[in-house]
Structure formats: C-alpha cells, structure tokens
Structure 1
Amino acid sequence: MPAPQGAGSADEVTAQATYAALVKDVLSPGFRDLGLKGSGGRYALAAPGFWALMSLQKSVYSDATEIQFTVNLLAANKEAWNAARAERPYLPQLPAAGVVYGKPTAWTRIGTLTPEGADKWWRIHAGVDQAEVTAEVLHDVRELALPWLRKQVRERG
C-alpha cells in the first residue's frame, strides 16, 4: 500500500502529519467502504432513530515522534438521549463517541471487544508499517466495532 498523500520520509514528516494523512487518505475512505459516514476521525453508522457513532482518539501522550490512537464507540436511542438532555441540560445536542455519558448511552473502546478484552492503541511512528496498521484497524472496525454498534441499536430499539 502506498504511503498516504503528504507523507514523505520519516525524517521529513512528523507523526502528527503522518497520522492526519493516514486518517484522511486511507482510514476514512476505508471506513466509508464499510458503510460509515464521516471524516476527520468522527463517523456514524446510519441507524434511524439512533446515534451509532465511532471516533478515533489520540493519546494525550502522543508527540511529534509518535501518535497513539484508539477507537471509541457510542450508541444511543435519540428519544432517550433527548429525554436525558431535558433532565441534564448540559448534555450536547449530539453525543460524541469520545465521551462517556452514562445512561442512556452505551459506550466502549474497541479493545474491550477483542478476545483479550484489553485497551488497544495503535502506534504511528518512524518505521511503522502503515499498511499493517491500516489493515488491522479496518479489520477490527469491520469485525468488532460495526457488529457492536449494530447490536446496541437492535437492543435499544
């Protein structure tokens, strides 16, 4: 797989620039191919009456030499969300997959859905095989994240 557009040699490009190009040029189109809508690290699965959201989260420990990122998932019935907003007016109109709100949402990170059940972070740094990272992220979204979101929508319907 070719490097994302704008990604030159490791000496020329920061991890942030590599990550941004990877998300824009490779991951986002891959997520759209899987049926998600969105870009820039925020995506939604079409589910009438529901928020079925996915977002990429960069670690606070990321820097110019390395980005660590994970996938957050959130599902909520829109009616239940609006009722919660009436009781808790500080809640935003649209929930974000990177925030844990409690009821009425279901929230998880992709790592908890793996057989290991452990938090999972991918690393972008000089020398990393971006094709391998991309393949693993897309696999986990297809095999773990999307089934989890669909299950939440079914169970909250």
Structure 2
Amino acid sequence: MTTAHELHAQGLREHLAPALRALGLAGRLRTFDLPDDTHWLLIGLVERPAADRVAFTFGLGLVRRSDWALTAAPGDRPDPRVRYGFEVWRARIGEVLPIGEDVWWEVLPGPRWQLPLDDAVAAVRDYALPELRRRAAADRAPGGGPYLSPAELEDVNAALLTASVARVQRAELADGALVLTGAWTRGDGVARIVLAGAAQGFLSAGDERFKSVRCVDTLGRTLWTFP
C-alpha cells in the first residue's frame, strides 16, 4: 500500500504546487511568492512528518524588497519559514483563518487522501492571498498599517474572552476609521454589545487619526460601525 509519505510527496508534486501556481504564485514545491513590485508576498510549506502520516501547514511572510536588497542573507528571495527580524509581518496561515489559531492538515493513506490538499489550497486562495495583498497595500499607504500589535491587543482580547466573544485579530487604520477584524457575525448580539464597549474605549483615547471604529469579519465585510 502507498504510504502517507509517498502520497504527501505525490500530492505536493502533482496537486498542491500546480494549484498554487494556478493562483498566481511562483515557486518550487515548498516556497512560493506572489509577484509584487514593492514587497515579497511569501507562502512556505511547513511539514511535520510522523511514522504513519504527514502533517503540514503554511508560513506566511511579507518583506519589503528594499529591505531584502540590503541584507546579506543567502538566496534570491526570503524564505517565509525563516525569521529574519526585518519582516513587515509573518504568521502561520491558521492565524488568518476564521478559527484564528494554528491549523495543520494531514495526508493519510486512503481513497480521500487528496481532500486535505484541496482544503489547504482553498485556505490559501480565500484567506492567505487576500491577507498578504491587503497587508502589502496597507504598508505602502501613508498612515495605514497596524494600529496595535497582537501583544498590545492582549488586554482587549482578554476582556472579549471573558464575555466568550472572538478576539480582535487586527486593529488597523483605514480611511479615518479604526478597523477591528475578528471572527464575528452580524447576528451575534453579545459580540456587538461587547465590541461597542471596546470601541468606546478606543474613541475615548482621543486619537485624531480616526473618528469611528468599524468592526469587520474575517472576509472584510462591515458588521458594525461605532459611534
């Protein structure tokens, strides 16, 4: 019987890599980049093999081309699986999925062994690439980009956790508003009430760069605007 390791290698060669290239990515079996004039938009395969299976996920990275040109790091492009220290942003793909935490797919022997590969490609298409493009555009735009780092959001997210509300994944400035992104839905009344309180806290800081707080879901759809 074909082993999980053999199926994983076959899946990368015949399915995953061609599917990622069809999405516009360039690269080899394990590292890919999306063409962009100012930034390296990077996706790298991270593998965790075991005796009877192979688990995999993706590392995402955003690096300014100007920063990379000044480094003495080896290679013709950054590797999203390597921490250089000058990245604009890096994360595992699970962080940009609605679940908001590390996600691993597993290739196992059997008639449905390709399903994890299909699901991984969909995650790249629907979440990783839009997030990389959005972050590159925000980094290019004056006055855009992150408003608070993940560490600075810890207190806000702790309060949301107490109310069983999904955490804030990003807090960024856009068009005179502070945009909070999270895995919320419009019909979640508790999330709306708790986020209204969080928005009031942000607005009370008197930051002149924004006059409202907009809450959007992980697909970028506006749910609520405060005040």
Measured against the shorter chain, the TM-score band is 0.7 to 0.9
Residue 29 of structure 1 pairs with residue 18 of structure 2:
yes
CA contact (8 A) 2:107 2:114 kept: no
What code does the residue aligned with 1:14 have? Answer: T
Q: Does 1:118 align with 2:96?
A: no
Rg: which structure is higher?
2
Any stretches of 5+ residues in structure 1 without a counterpart?
1-10
Report sequence identity in percent. Answer: 29
How many positions carry a matched residue from both structures? 139
1:54 aligned partner: 43
Residue number in structure 1 paired with 2:55 = 68
Measured at CA, do residues 18 and 131 of structure 1 come closer, stay the same or move farther in structure 2, by a change above 3 Å? closer
| 2:103 alignment partner, SS class | coil
Partner of 1:5: none
Q: TM-score, structure 2 length as denominator? A: 0.57
The residue aligned with 1:100 is 83
Is the Cα contact below 8 Å between 2:33 and 2:43 reproduced in 1?
Answer: yes
- For residues 117 and 148 of structure 1, what CA distance do their matches in structure 2 show? 13
Partner of residue 68, structure 2: 81
SS of residue in 1 equivalent to 2:14:
helix
Deviations 1:46-67 (A, max 9, x none): 00132111111101xx134110
Between 1 and 2, higher relative CO (CA 8 Å, sep ≥ 6) is seen in 1
Distance 2:117 2:40 in 1: 25
- Structure 1 position 44 matched with structure 2 position 33: yes
Aligned residues of 2:11 and 2:114 also touching (Cα < 8 A): no
CA deviation map 1:66-117 (0-9, x unaligned): 100001111111112334x2xxx5x335321111223333111110111111
Q: Which runs of 5+ in 2 are unaligned?
A: 141-227
Instruction: State TM-score, norm by structure 1.
Output: 0.80
CA RMSD, Structure 1 to Structure 2 (Å): 1.7
Deviation at 1:128, TM superposition (A): 6.7
Is the partner of 1:56 in helix, strand or coil? strand
